[in-house]
């Protein structure tokens, strides 16, 4: 399968056009969505999640809980990869099945799928522009605030904020407005892109998530500290990975990403998510094709832990400005 990386995404008028523009330039083989495989993976992930919950309810040794939390974290990054497929509409061929699959998987993240989707699609629109360059600070911005955000991302605070968002969108929905975040450009840009038509769905999903997890903890008799250990480990791992594929990369909407590698079973468990530049160049193809495309184009790959360690050098001052060409547009 011969595919030339596409770099014309930023010329599209909106995300829907962008997807269509990329999609129709791909050969038929690369458009295939592995419905049965994805369904089997989602089912196995759910079995794995509830197996971890069951183990958390019966284990008592701190060392056993720590080991379980580590395994749960690795598993849940794979679950997020399934959510990611649904965000791009390539989890299942059927659009309704894709939505349902995304909502089910996201309920164990746990966060509203419609909110996660808008955040991620917005990421593709804003990538490496001034509206989303977390590793940089510009004249007039506070480097101290940038460092606080940066450390929060590397240590799991970013994940905690997202999870607490379930309560915010349910009880304080008015907070999702740029006027509360004018002091922070990336947050304001995120708020600007939220589509009001999804507000009701987000609140319903948040309510369902809170009820679901309360029932899981109660009915499965999971000690709260064990439950928090599982999700704390996942949150720290997931959050720490969130900008590792973009740190220090080119200020370009599609080229501003890097391919990484870890250990091949983990790369597969995470559904080739580490082929991240390939994904940004071809955002609407299934995970099963990413490695083949990357290998065909002889794409470079870095070792993920080394890049993560380099991230601790923190944000740096930048003088180059890159416009967000989609500023003011909401996610469709």
CA distance 118 to 169: 14
Query: Quick one: pLDDT at residue 26?
Result: 59
Query: Quick one: pLDDT at residue 31?
Result: 77
CA distance 83 to 101: 8
Using an 8 Å Cβ cutoff, are 134 and 150 in contact? yes
Per-residue model confidence as pLDDT tens for the chain (332 residues): 443 333 333 333 333 334 445 555 556 677 799 999 999 999 999 999 999 999 999 999 999 999 999 999 999 999 999 999 999 999 999 999 999 999 999 999 999 999 999 999 999 999 999 999 999 999 999 999 999 999 999 999 999 999 999 999 999 988 888 888 888 899 999 999 999 999 999 999 999 999 999 999 999 999 999 999 999 999 999 999 999 999 999 999 999 999 999 999 999 999 999 999 999 999 989 999 999 989 888 778 999 999 999 999 999 999 999 999 998 889 98
Q: How far is CA 260 from CA 167, 272, 304, in A?
A: 35, 10, 5
In terms of DSSP bridges, do strands 316-317 and 302-303 run parallel, antiparallel, or are they unpaired?
A: unpaired
| Count of CB atoms situated within 10 Å of the CB of 94 | 12
Q: How far is CA 211 from CA 102, 110, 163, in A?
A: 18, 11, 14
Query: Quick one: pLDDT at residue 10?
Result: 36
Query: Quick one: pLDDT at residue 9?
Result: 36
- Kindly give, in sequence order, each residue whose CB lies less than 8 Å from that of residue 91, ignoring residues fewer than 6 positions away: 33, 38, 42, 82, 85, 97, 98, 101, 102
Name beta bridge partners: 302. Answer: 260
Long-range contacts of 15-22 (CB under 8 A, 24+ apart): 15/121, 15/124, 15/125, 15/326, 15/329, 15/331, 15/332, 16/332, 18/124, 18/125, 18/283, 19/88, 19/89, 19/283, 19/284, 22/282, 22/283, 22/284
Using an 8 Å Cβ cutoff, are 33 and 92 in contact? yes
Using an 8 Å Cβ cutoff, are 246 and 256 in contact? yes
């Amino acid at each position: 399968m011969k595919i030339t990386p596409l770099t014309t995404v930023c010329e599209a008028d909106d995300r829907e056009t962008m997807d269509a523009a990329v999609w129709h330039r791909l050969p038929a083989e690369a458009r295939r969505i592995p419905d049965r495989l994805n369904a089997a993976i989602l089912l196995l992930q759910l079995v794995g999640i509830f197996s971890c919950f069951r183990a958390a309810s019966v284990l008592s040794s701190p060392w056993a809980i720590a080991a379980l939390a580590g395994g749960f974290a690795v598993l849940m990054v794979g679950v997020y990869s399934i959510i990611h497929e649904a965000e791009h509409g390539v989890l299942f061929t059927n659009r309704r099945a894709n939505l349902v699959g995304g909502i089910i998987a996201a309920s164990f993240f746990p966060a509203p799928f419609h909110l996660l989707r808008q955040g991620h699609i917005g990421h593709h629109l804003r990538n490496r522009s001034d509206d989303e360059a977390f590793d940089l600070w510009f004249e007039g911005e506070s480097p101290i605030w940038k460092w606080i955000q940066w450390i929060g991302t590397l240590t799991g605070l970013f994940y905690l904020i997202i999870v607490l968002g379930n309560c915010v969108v349910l009880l304080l929905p008015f907070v999702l407005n740029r006027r509360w975040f004018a002091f922070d450009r990336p947050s304001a840009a995120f708020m600007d892109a939220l589509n009001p038509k999804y507000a009701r769905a987000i609140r319903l999903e948040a309510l369902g998530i809170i009820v679901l997890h309360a029932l899981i903890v109660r009915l499965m008799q999971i000690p709260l500290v064990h439950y928090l250990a599982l999700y704390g480990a996942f949150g720290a791992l997931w959050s720490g990975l969130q900008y590792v594929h973009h740190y220090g990369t080119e200020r370009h909407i599609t080229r501003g990403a890097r391919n990484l590698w870890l250990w091949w079973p983990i790369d597969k468990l995470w559904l080739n998510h580490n082929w991240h530049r390939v994904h940004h160049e071809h955002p609407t193809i299934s995970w099963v094709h990413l490695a083949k495309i990357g290998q065909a184009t002889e794409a470079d790959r870095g070792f993920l832990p080394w890049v993560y360690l380099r991230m601790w050098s923190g944000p740096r001052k930048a003088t180059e400005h890159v416009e967000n060409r989609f500023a003011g547009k909401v996610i469709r």
